[in-house]
Amino acid sequence: MRNIFIIYDEVKFTGQKLGKGSAGEVELGEYEGKKVAVKRFVNDNLNEIIEKLRKHKNLRSENIIEFYGVIRSPNDKMYLVTKFAKKGTLHDYFEKNEPGWSIKAKIAIDIANGLLECHKYNIVYLDLKSENILVDILVNKHLVLKISDFSLSITKAELDLGKKAGGAKK
């Protein structure tokens, strides 16, 4: 298993905001020569953050946003580093585009495949909404949808134990 911690100085922060969610703000960064999304957690409790990331780090699917690691800054702020999705969120995509039925079918299949990957690892994804689905584009110009933001997900074992399930509030 590779180390999930990234040295703070290895990531270049651009200051360009990509979005904001219930768990923190996301900005564009650069890591190992690639554009990345860097999410600053609102909650800096290291144990809670690592518990959430433990669920995400093993997921390896074209339809799950790629997890690179976690940064702990010199002032003890915590950040999550993931692949940058070039086309933003599905919400943004639908605001700018009117896709035909074949693209809509691909979107549904990609989301379903991402959820299947979660279920393979007994992860219950609890925050399915267009803002948490990212749209990436491959070299061959095909869209690929990727599930992101696992901050509210729980394991099946946690659900069986009666942990409270619920999505983000708007």
How far is the C-alpha of 88 from the C-alpha of 105, rounded, in Å? Answer: 19
Note the Cα 157 to chain centre separation in Å: 22
One domain, residues 103 and 73:
no
What integer is the mean pLDDT of 46-68? 80
Number of domains in the chain: 2
In 84-155, alpha helices (H): 90-96, 101-120
Choose one of 83, 114, 147: the last residue of a domain. Answer: 83
Under a CB-based contact definition with an 8 Å cutoff, are residues 82 and 148 in contact? yes
Q: Is residue 113 in some structural domain?
A: yes
35 assigned to some structural domain: yes
- 95 in the same domain as 125: yes
Instruction: Look up 160 and say whether it is catalytic.
Output: no
Look at residue 66 in the predicted model and tell me its pLDDT.
92
Say if residue 167's pLDDT is above 60: no
pLDDT band at 32 (very low <50, low <70, confident <90, very high): very high
> What tens digit of pLDDT does each residue of 80-133 get?
999 999 899 999 999 999 999 999 999 999 999 999 999 999 999 989 999 999
Is residue 167 one of the residues assigned to a domain? no
Q: Are residues 53 and 99 in the same domain?
A: no
Q: Are residues 66 and 129 in the same domain?
A: no
Single out the residue in 49, 83, 117 at which a domain terminates: 83
Say which DSSP state 42 is in.
S
Nearest CA to 62 out of 122, 140, 2, 127 is that of: 140
Tokens of 24: 């923190």
Among 9, 44, 127, 136, the active-site one is 127
Q: Which of 34-43, 78-87, 103-112, 150-159 has the lowest mean pLDDT?
A: 150-159
pTM as predicted: 0.84
Q: Does 100 lie in the same domain as 73?
A: no
CA distances from 129 to 48, 80, 92, 162 (A): 23, 20, 12, 23
Query: Quick one: 55 and 101 in the same domain?
Result: no
Long-range contact pairs involving 24-29 (C-beta distance under 8 Å, separation at least 24): 28/84, 29/81
**Predicted local distance difference test score (pLDDT) of residue 19:** 86
Residues 18 and 77 grouped into a single domain: yes
Q: Do 77 and 94 lie in a common domain?
A: no
Provide the pLDDT for residue 24: 77
* CATH code of residue 13: 3.30.200.20
13 and 56: one domain?
yes
Kindly report the CATH number assigned to the domain that includes residue 132. 1.10.510.10
Q: Which has more confidence, 124 or 161?
A: 124
Are 76 and 109 in the same domain?
Answer: no
One domain, residues 104 and 63: no
Residue 170 lies in a domain: no
Strand 78-83 with 34-41, pairing: antiparallel
What domain range is 13 assigned to? 5-83
Residue 165: its pLDDT value, please? 54
